[in-house]
Structure formats: C-alpha cells, structure tokens
C-alpha cells in the first residue's frame, strides 16, 4: 500500500527533476494510484511534449480507470500545443484528482478544477502546495506580474568583499561552489551583469556540464541562458566574450539607453547582438523595471543577477530582488577600496535593513551558501 503523502512526494520529485528546463511553462509531476499501488507516473518534459497527467495516463493504460491522480499543479483545461489534460483524465475514467494548488494562468485559474467537478470527479486541493510553489516560484511570479523572478547571487569574503583592491576576483569561492553555480545557470532563463563586470572580468556567462571541483573537464550545456549586459552608455567592446564572439553559444542582449553612441549601437546590431534601448532612471542608468518588463514579454521567467556590486545595489534599492544566493568564503580580503557584494544607497538605519525569510544554509566545500527570500513567497502565488 502507498500512503497519500508518499504519492504526492513522488509527484513533487518528478516535477523537481525537470525544474528550470520547461520554461516558459511550469514543471509538473503526476502519479496515478489504484488499489493502493502506483499504476502510472509522468512528468512534463517541455514545450510540445505530453503534459505530466497525460504521460501518467499513458503509462497506466487501462488501470487509469477508477484511479486517483496526484499532480503538482491544477490540470489544464485549454488547448495549446497539446489537448487539455482535463479531457484526457475524463476520457481515461480517472475517479479522483488531488493537486497541489491552482494554476494562476488566466486560461486555467480554477477552470480545470471546475470542469472535473462538473463531470463528477472528486477533487482535493492543497496537498504539497508549499513545495509545489517553491518548485514553480518563477512561473508563479511571471503569471502574476508579467515579470521574471529575480535571483541575486554573489560570492563574498567574510568581510563582504567580492574582489581585491586591484579588482582581481578569481576566485573568491572554491571549486564546489563553481560546480553548484553551473547547475544553477542550467536552470535559469537569463543571467545579467553590469558593463563594469564585462570590462574587468570579461566573463562568458555560459552554462556548462561537468564537475570542475575534481579537476574534470566541462563542456557547454545544450540549454544556454540569455546573457544580458546592462550598459547605459555603450562601453561594451565588440569582442567581449559575453556577446558570443568566442564561440560560446547562446544569445546575448545589451540593455542600454539613448545616451549610448548611435554608431556603437549600430556596430553591435551589425555583429548580430540584440540591442534594446530602454528608458533611463534618475541616475542615468537603464531602468530596471523597464528591463524586467522587456524580459517578461520575452518569456524570461528567471533572471539571475550576478553583479557586480553596483548592479546588485540597484536591484536591492529598487526592491526588485525575490531571492538571494549568497556564498560566503572563509577568507579576509580587506582594503577600503575593495569592491563589495552590494553597493547602492543601502539602508540608512538598521531597522530598514533587508532581512531574508525562509533562510537555508548549506556547505559547498569550504564555502557556506546562504539562501533566502526577500518577501513572503506565498504573496506572489
């Protein structure tokens, strides 16, 4: 016999396996149970593939009739590239459906539940909801606001520095953290840095496969994030690695303002780089809300902001960060002029300082990874 909690846990595991790889759609897992045993399971693999519920029904075959479906998101009831999941469930004779939470997509938003109930299917909602929302936190925010879920990530010394006084920043963190960072890049849609980071470090910002922690070789991952450079005044050189000129693959976007030279913008466009001219804020920098709106319209669900400190400070000052990954390395850099992880205006009083919620701490080799949210996740879902 299989306990209900174990079944939903398995469905959540299935969704977690494809987390970050189904964008701009949600990661979903489904399990069918009949007479106390699992008869079918499935997960959504990405655009154009069967939804998790349909995959589970196909695996179960005739055993789906009279079975109970556990699924991590409300079944869809609209036709896209694939038929509605609710139709497939009714045709298969599924007797009961337990899903974690309502899908906020305007094409669903409770309609899937209503259709199933109208057809006589027993529906229970809420089991595994918190973890299901965590898995699809970016999807939920995008559907609610039209903007991507923003993750600020940085590695700093014990005294909060991200580089030496010379600007040298390789490497603050250890090889285990680098391996973890590559795993994160493979799960996000876009990664952003400021132009100063491009000029100083000349990063590629690629997602790679392989474990550098043991000295092994790595290779480019099949799925690459959109690489975004915030360059208000047009200082990015044409041969910057982040633009893909070194054969790194993927796409690049330069977000600039009309204060950048028109000739520079033309040269970038001629080189195949997507240049977006956005409004400037009061500091004569690219408007971050305008950038998020642009990325959201482009189906970017997750934006990873990797710095430097000025860019991080701008995002935090504007209240646009949803989640933080802060790596703390066991070293002291010192130096009054050494770059810090988060610059900007900051808090005038300790009472105004941003305190993370739902914090988690884990060890990555000698480094510590602190993860937390800037607000209540439930409010965006």
Per-residue model confidence (pLDDT) at position 217: 74
Active site residues: 53
Mean pLDDT of 329-356: 92
* HEC sequence for 302-353: EEEECCCHHHHHHHHHCCCCCEEEEEEECCCCCCCCCCECCCCCCCCCHHHC
pLDDT over 80 (residue 377): no
The pLDDT tens digits of the residues spanning 42-78 come to 999 988 899 999 999 999 999 999 999 999 999 999 8
Degrees to nearest 5, angle at CA 307 with 305 and 309: 130
The pLDDT tens digits of the residues spanning 125-139 come to 999 999 999 999 999
Per-residue model confidence (pLDDT) at position 244: 80
What phi and psi, each to the nearest 5 degrees, are found at residue 321? Answer: -90, 135
Query: Whole-number mean pLDDT of the chain?
Result: 91
Question: What CA–CA distance (Å, rounded) separates 7 from 37?
Answer: 9
The pLDDT tens digits of the residues spanning 96-111 come to 999 999 999 889 999 9
Q: Which DSSP helix (H) or strand (E) runs through 124? A: strand 122-125
Per-residue model confidence (pLDDT) at position 216: 64
pLDDT over 70, % of the chain: 94
pLDDT over 50 (residue 380): no
Grade residue 381 by pLDDT with cuts at 50, 70 and 90.
Answer: very low
The pLDDT tens digits of the residues spanning 138-180 come to 999 999 999 999 999 999 999 999 988 888 777 899 999 999 9
Per-residue model confidence (pLDDT) at position 246: 42
The pLDDT tens digits of the residues spanning 207-243 come to 988 765 556 677 888 889 999 999 999 999 999 999 9
Lowest-confidence region among 60-74, 79-93, 245-259, 272-286: 245-259
pLDDT over 70 (residue 249): no
Per-residue model confidence (pLDDT) at position 375: 86
The pLDDT tens digits of the residues spanning 285-306 come to 999 999 999 999 999 999 999 9
pLDDT over 90, % of the chain: 79
pLDDT over 80 (residue 2): no
pLDDT over 70 (residue 338): yes
Per-residue model confidence (pLDDT) at position 169: 78
**Any alpha helices (H) in 119-261, and if so which ranges?**
129-135, 137-145, 175-185, 195-201
**Locus of tokens 């903007």:** 147
Q: Is 274 within 8 Å of 251 (Cβ atoms)? A: yes
Q: Which DSSP helix (H) or strand (E) runs through 8? A: helix 4-17
pLDDT over 60 (residue 279): yes
């Amino acid at each position: 016999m299989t306990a209900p909690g174990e079944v939903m846990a398995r469905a959540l595991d299935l969704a977690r396996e494809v987390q970050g790889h189904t964008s701009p759609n949600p990661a979903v897992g489904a399990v069918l149970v009949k007479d106390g045993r699992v008869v079918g399971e499935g997960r959504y693999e990405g655009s154009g593939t069967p939804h998790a519920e349909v995959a589970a029904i196909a695996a179960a075959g005739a055993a789906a009739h009279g079975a109970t479906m556990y699924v991590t998101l409300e079944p869809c009831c609209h036709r896209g590239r694939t038929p509605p999941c609710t139709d497939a469930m009714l045709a298969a004779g599924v007797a009961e459906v337990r899903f974690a939470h309502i899908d906020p997509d305007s094409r669903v938003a409770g309609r899937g539940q209503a259709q199933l109930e109208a057809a006589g299917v027993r529906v229970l909602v809420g089991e595994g909801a918190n973890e299901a929302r965590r898995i699809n936190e970016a999807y939920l925010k995008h559907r609610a606001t039209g903007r991507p879920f923003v993750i600020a990530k940085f590695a700093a010394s014990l005294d909060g520095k991200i580089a030496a006084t010379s600007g040298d920043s390789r490497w603050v963190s250890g090889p285990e953290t680098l391996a973890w960072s590559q795993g994160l890049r493979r799960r996000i849609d876009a990664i952003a840095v400021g132009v100063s980071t491009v000029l100083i470090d000349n990063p590629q910002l690629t997602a790679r496969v392989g474990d550098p922690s043991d000295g092994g070789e790595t290779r480019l991952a099949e799925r690459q994030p959109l690489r975004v450079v915030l360059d208000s005044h047009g200082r990015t050189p044409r041969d910057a690695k982040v633009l893909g000129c070194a054969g790194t693959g993927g796409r690049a976007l330069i977000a600039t303002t009309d204060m950048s030279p028109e000739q520079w913008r033309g040269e970038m466009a001629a080189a195949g780089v997507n240049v977006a001219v956005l409004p400037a804020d009061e500091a004569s920098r690219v408007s971050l809300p305008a950038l998020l709106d642009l990325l959201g319209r482009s189906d970017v669900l997750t934006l990873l902001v990797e710095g430097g400190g000025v860019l991080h400070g701008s995002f935090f000052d504007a209240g646009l960060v949803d989640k933080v990954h802060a790596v703390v390395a066991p070293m002291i850099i010192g130096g009054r002029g050494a770059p810090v992880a988060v610059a900007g205006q900051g808090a005038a009083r300790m009472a105004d300082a941003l305190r993370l919620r739902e914090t988690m701490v884990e060890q990555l080799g000698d480094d510590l990874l602190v993860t937390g949210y800037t607000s209540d996740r439930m409010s965006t879902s």
